[in-house]
Structure 1
Amino acid sequence: MKKQFELTAWSLGLCALVGCNGVEENIASEKSLRTQSFALVTNCKYTTPAIDREAELIIRHVNVVDDPCRTKPNGTGCTTSSSQGKWSFGYLVSQMAGDNSPSEFVLRWLGSFETSRTVNGFAMQARGGLDASNLPVGVTAKVVQPWRQASGCSKTGSFSDCTLDFTKAPFRLLAIVNRIDLAGPVDFYGSSGPNSGEARFVFGVTDTNGAPLEATVIFEYKLPSSRTTFDWATQWHNLVSAGPVGSPAYNNALEQLTNQITVRGAISGAPNNSAISQVRTNEIAFDLGKIANQKVWELREQRLLDCSAGSTKCWLIPDTVKQTPDHTKNMTAALDTFFVNNTAKLAAETHVVPTNLLTGAARSKAALNTAVVWDLLNQDLYNQDMGGSGPITSVMRYNFALATCTGCHYVETNTSNMHISNRVPGQMSQFSNFLAVSIEPSTTDARLPANSQSFFDSVSNESRTLNEPWRRACEMKRLLNGDPNPWTKTSGAH
C-alpha cells in the first residue's frame, strides 16, 4: 500500500523554480506535451506572435491599478469625465447591480457571509455576524460596520437603510486579467455552445486604515458575444502596441477594451443585463477563530441567481464552487465511485465533478493543521505503482486535485491561498508560485518555455512540472493564429 503523507500548510508540496533548457528531445511530441498529465510543460503549437504577460495577460502595473482617473469613483486627472472611475469597485458594482440600489446590492452580498446557510445540501458556516458577547466578528467587524460608519450610517441596520460611500469602499484594485485561455468550442463546465473566455478584475480587501487584509474579491466577466473570440484576442494583444504598460495611451486603450465588458447591457437578457459570470471571494481574514494558525481559508462563489430569467433586479447569491467537492466528500465511497467511473476523463482532464458533490465553499485548514488533500478511501483502487491493484493512477488524482479550488489555491501548488496577493498603494501585487514563472521561450526550442516550476504531488510525492502563464500565452497565440480548437485544457475551473 502506498505511503500516506501528513502535510501542513507550510510543508505542503515544497516547490522550486527549475530551468527547462535541457528538456530531452524525446519528449517533444505535441500531444504528449499538453498539460493533460501535468507531468510535462505545454509544448506550444505556435511560436508567434510574442506575448507580453504584464501587458496583455495579467496586468498589475502600478500605473494601471493606481490610475487616479480610473480606479477612484470620483477619479481625478481624467481627460474626459466619462473615464472617471471605470475600474473602481463602485463603478463596476453599479453596472452589475441592474435596477437595484448598488448599496443594497453590496450589503446583501456581504450579508451572505454573516449567517450560516446551506448550499447544495452542504453546511456553510458564517464568516461574520456577532459573537457570544454580541460583538461584531469576521466580515461584519472588518468590512460591513466600518464601511457603514464611514458612510455616515449607523453601524447596524438593514440592507436598504444605508447609502454607502463608494469613495471609501474598502477594496483596492490588484490586477486586470485576460482569461481568454478559457475560450473554446465547449465550455469547461460541460455546457454546449461557444465560450469566448473571461476578463477579470481582482480586488484586495482593506481595513479601516487602508491596510491590506488576507482577502481578495474577483469579478469574473464573460466576454460578450458581440465580438468573436478572435476579435477579443486581437484587442488584448493590440494593447502592447498602444504604448508602454501604464502609460496614458495604454490605459486609455485598456479602458476602451474593458468598457465593452463591464458596462450594463454588455449581454442583453442576462441577469441584470450584466456580463458578470461569477464573483469569487478568496480569504482567510473573515474566519471567526481567534488563533491565527488555526484559521480556515475559504473560497466562495456568488452568482446573479435570486431572480427570474431576464430580470434586472437580481442579487448575488452563494452558489456552488465549480469542480470542487465539499471537503466532507474527501476519502469517501462517493468520491471513489466518481474516480472509478471517470478514469479516462481524469487522465485527459475532461472530467466534470457531478453537481451533487459540489461545495458552496472550498475550504482548508491553515498553518499548523492538516489541510485538505484529495485522496481515495479505498487505497487498493490505485494502480500497482501506488501500491494497489486498481485503475487509478497518481496523475489522475493530481489532475482532479489541481482542478479543485482547494488544491490549486493551496496544497497542490504550495500556495498560501492567493495567486495574486493583496497590496498597499504604490506597490505591485505579487504572484504565487503558480503564476510567477516567466513565459520566455527556450533558446533551444521556442515551443517550450525557458523555465518552469516543479511541485511535489501531495500524495505520491512525485514531481509535477508546470508553467501556467506559458499555457495561457500558448492559447493566446493559438487564437491569434485563427485556430478555434483549444490546445490545452484549463488548469481546473480557475
Structure 2
Amino acid sequence: MAVDTAKELVITDDSVLHDDRAMNRSDGTWSFRARMRELAPPGVTPAQATYEWLASYGRLQRINGFDVAPRTEVNRLVLCPWMKRTPANACNEDCSTCAANELDLAESPFRLVAIANRTDTALTNSDYAGRAQARLVYTLVDGAADDDASKPMRMSVIFEYLQPESDEALPKIARTWHQLSTFPTFDEPYKAKLAEIMGAI
C-alpha cells in the first residue's frame, strides 16, 4: 500500500487540528496545555513553567556556546496579552504592574498546526541515529488558540519525542504509522488510531 503523506507523515487536516484532543480548554492530549503539563518539573506548576520559559526569551542567554540576544518583544506580544485574559491578574496596559502573573493554560495562544511522523530521523548520523521521532508543531496566535478568530503570528514551537530504540522497534513503529493510510477519511476511527500511536510514545 502506498504511503499517504497527509495521513501518516505530516498531518494537518482540519478535522484533526480542530478535534477536542487538540484544544487547550479541554486539556486535550494533543494540546499545548498538555505538553506543558507533561514538562513542568516537580514543585513547579505548568503555568509557572510556561511563564519562566517565555520570560527567558527577554533575557540574554547562552545556548550551545553562543550568546543569544534578548527577544524584548516577548512581553508585549505574548506574555502581556495572555496575562490580561485573566482578570484576577489585574494588569495595567503594558503589564508593567500586575497583581499576579498567572497564565491560564486554557487560554494558551499556542495552536496545534501539525503532527509529524519522523521515522526518517532514525537514518541520520545525528546523536539520535536509530531513533524515530514524533513531533507536535504549534504556532503562536494573537489570542486564545481555541478561538478561530485568533490569527497566526511569526513563532512556532515544536515538541520532539523519541520513540523506542531497538532493531525490532523501528520496523514496528513504521508499520504502525503506515496503518493510518488505511483509513479512507480523517474520521473518528482515524483520530482514535492516531491518539493510540501518540499515546504510546
Where has structure 1 moved over 4 Å in runs of 4 or more?
none
SS at the partner of 2:117?
strand
Q: CA 1:190–1:250 in structure 2 vs 1: closer, same or farther (change >3 Å)?
A: closer
The aligned counterpart of 1:198 is 133
Out of 61, 64, 69, the position equivalent to 2:13 is 61
The aligned counterpart of 1:279 is none
Q: CA 1:195–1:98 in structure 2 vs 1: closer, same or farther (change >3 Å)?
A: farther
Out of 171, 189, 192, the position equivalent to 2:126 is 189
Q: CA 1:190–1:175 in structure 2 vs 1: closer, same or farther (change >3 Å)?
A: closer
Out of 161, 169, 180, the position equivalent to 2:119 is 180
The aligned counterpart of 2:142 is 207
Shift of 1:123: 2.2
Output the CA distance in 1 between the equivalents of 2:184 and 2:31: 22
Does the 8 Å CA contact 1:65/1:175 hold for their aligned counterparts? Answer: yes
* TM value normalised by structure 2: 0.84
The aligned counterpart of 1:97 is 40
* TM value normalised by structure 1: 0.36
The amino acid that maps onto 1:101 is T
* Alpha-carbon displacement from aligned partner over 1:398-443 (angstroms, at most 9, x marks no partner): xxxxxxxxxxxxxxxxxxxxxxxxxxxxxxxxxxxxxxxxxxxxxx
Unaligned runs of at least 5 residues, structure 2 = 144-148
Does the 8 Å CA contact 1:245/1:251 hold for their aligned counterparts? Answer: no
Unaligned runs of at least 5 residues, structure 1 = 1-48, 76-83, 129-137, 262-494
Does the 8 Å CA contact 1:103/1:162 hold for their aligned counterparts? Answer: no
Output the CA distance in 2 between the equivalents of 1:245 and 1:109: 38
Does the 8 Å CA contact 2:24/2:107 hold for their aligned counterparts? Answer: no
Shift of 1:157: 7.4
Does the 8 Å CA contact 2:51/2:79 hold for their aligned counterparts? Answer: yes
Output the CA distance in 2 between the equivalents of 1:108 and 1:195: 33
Greater helix content: 2
State whether structure 2 residue 33 is matched by structure 1 residue 72. Answer: no
Q: CA 1:190–1:224 in structure 2 vs 1: closer, same or farther (change >3 Å)?
A: closer
Does the 8 Å CA contact 1:70/1:86 hold for their aligned counterparts? Answer: yes
The aligned counterpart of 1:246 is 186
Query: Residues 264-413 of structure 1 correspond to what in structure 2 (within 5 A)?
Result: none
SS at the partner of 2:200?
helix
Output the CA distance in 2 between the equivalents of 1:245 and 1:162: 43
Give percent identity, aligned residues only.
Answer: 30
Shift of 1:139: 1.5
The aligned counterpart of 2:2 is 50
Shift of 1:105: 1.1
The aligned counterpart of 2:105 is 166
Output the CA distance in 1 between the equivalents of 2:77 and 2:111: 15
Alpha-carbon RMSD: 2.3
Out of 207, 220, 232, the position equivalent to 2:160 is 220
How many residue pairs match? The answer is: 188
Shift of 1:203: 0.7
Output the CA distance in 1 between the equivalents of 2:47 and 2:97: 13
The amino acid that maps onto 1:172 is R
Output the CA distance in 2 between the equivalents of 1:219 and 1:190: 17
Higher relative contact order (CA 8 A, sep 6+): 1
